[in-house]
C-alpha cells in the first residue's frame, strides 16, 4: 500500500529558481504518494502533482497583514496544508488557532496535516506522551471530522536534531491516534532520512512520513519516497 510522504521545506531554499530546480528533481512517479510543501511565496512557481502549504490563516479575507487564506491556497490548487507545526506553536500558535485553521481548510476541501508532539521530551514513556498529545488532539480536532485530517506525530526533541524516535514508539502512538480519534492517516516526523525511513514505513500503522531536512536533498528524498 502507498504511504504518504510530505516534504516540509520550511524556510528553504532562498530563491525561486532553486525551489523550482529542487521540485523538478523529485520523482513524480515515486512508489509512495508525495506532497511538496515549499514556502508560501513559491507555491505558485512549483509544479508537482501534490503541493501543500506550510501554514494558513483561519479567516478567508480581511485586514490581516501578512497572512495567507485557504481561499488563496484553493485558488492555487493546493491540496494539503500543514498546521500546528512545533516551530509555529513555539512562536504563538495556540490549539484554538490551529483548530480554526483546520475548520477553514476542511471547508475549502484542503487536507490539513495536523502536527502534534510539541512539549514532549526524549525521556517520556509512551503513556506520558499520549497524555500530552491528547490535549493537542482534543483541542485541534474539536468539532472536526477527524477522518479527513492527516495527523503527523513529531516529537519536538526529534526535529532537526538527528535523533529520531524509535519506529516501535511511532507505531504505538499511531495506533493510539487512529483508535481514539478515528484519524485515517498518521505520519511520523523527526530526523527521518534515507537510512531510517524504511524502518518507519514498515510499521503497519505509520501511514507515512513528514520530512524536513532530508527533503532538501533530492537524492536522499528520492530514496525515501521510493522505498
Ligand atoms: P526534520 O524536520 O526532518 O528536519 O527533523 C521535520 C519537521 O520539522 O517536519
Give the pTM. 0.97
- Report the pLDDT value the prediction gives residue 3, as an integer from 0 to 100: 98
Q: Confidence band (pLDDT; 50, 70, 90) for 59?
A: very high
- What is the Cα–Cα distance from 21 to 47, expressed in whole angstroms? 10
Q: What's the CA gap between 8 and 182, in Å, rounded?
A: 25
Query: pLDDT (tens digit, 9 = 90+) per residue, 117-152?
Result: 999 999 899 999 999 999 999 999 999 999 999 999
CA of 124 from ligand 1 middle (Å) equals 20
Q: Could you give the domains of the chain?
A: 4-225 (3.20.20.70)
Per-residue pLDDT averaged across 41-68, rounded? 97
- Specify the residue with its C-alpha closest to ligand 1, atom 2: 212
Give yes or no for residue 190 CB within 6 A of ligand 1.
yes
User: Look-up: residue for cell 480554526?
Assistant: 100
Which active-site residues does the annotation give?
A: 85, 154
From the CA of 29, how far away is ligand 1's center (Å)? 23
Compute how many other C-beta atoms are within 10 angstroms of the C-beta atom of residue 198.
12
Mean pLDDT over residues 6-15, rounded? 98
pLDDT of the residue at 1: 82
In this structure, what C-alpha cell is assigned to residue 90? 513555539
* Grid cell locating 154: 513529531
**For residue 159, how many other CB atoms are within 10 A of its CB?**
22
Write the residue with the smallest CA distance to atom 1 of ligand 1: 212
Strand order in 185-189's β-sheet?
A: 33-37, 4-8, 208-211, 185-189, 150-153, 111-116, 80-83, 52-53
65-120 tens-digit pLDDT: 999 999 999 999 999 999 999 999 999 999 999 999 999 999 999 999 999 999 99
Q: Please tell me the residue having the least CA distance from ligand 1 atom 6.
A: 212
All cell numbers assigned to 33? 504518494
Amino acid at each position: 500500500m502507498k504511504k504518504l510522504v510530505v516534504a516540509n521545506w520550511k524556510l528553504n531554499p532562498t530563491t525561486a529558481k532553486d525551489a523550482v530546480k529542487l521540485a523538478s528533481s523529485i520523482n513524480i512517479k515515486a512508489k509512495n504518494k508525495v506532497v511538496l510543501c515549499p514556502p508560501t511565496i513559491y507555491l505558485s512557481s512549483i509544479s508537482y502533482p501534490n503541493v501543500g502549504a506550510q501554514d494558513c490563516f483561519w479567516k478567508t479575507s480581511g485586514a490581516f497583514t501578512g497572512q495567507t487564506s485557504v481561499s488563496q491556497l484553493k485558488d492555487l490548487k493546493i491540496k494539503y496544508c500543514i498546521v500546528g507545526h512545533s516551530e509555529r506553536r513555539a512562536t504563538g500558535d495556540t490549539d484554538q488557532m490551529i483548530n480554526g485553521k483546520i475548520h477553514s481548510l476542511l471547508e475549502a476541501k484542503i487536507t490539513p496535516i495536523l502536527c502534534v508532539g510539541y512539549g514532549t521530551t526524549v525521556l517520556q514513556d509512551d503513556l506520558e506522551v499520549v497524555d500530552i498529545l491528547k490535549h493537542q488532539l482534543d483541542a485541534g480536532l474539536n468539532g472536526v471530522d477527524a477522518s479527513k485530517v492527516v495527523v503527523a506525530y513529531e516529537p519536538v526533541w526529534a526535529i532537526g536534531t538527528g535523533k529520531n524516535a524509535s519506529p516501535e514508539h511511532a507505531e504505538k502512538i499511531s495506533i493510539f491516534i487512529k483508535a481514539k480519534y478515528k484519524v485515517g492517516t498518521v505520519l511520523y516526523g523527526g530526523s527521518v532520512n534515507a537510512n531510517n525511513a524504511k524502518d518507519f514505513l514498515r510499521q503497519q500503522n505509520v501511514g507515512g512520513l513528514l520530512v524536513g531536512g532530508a527533503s532538501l536533498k533530492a537524492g536522499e528524498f528520492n530514496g525515501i519516497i521510493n522505498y
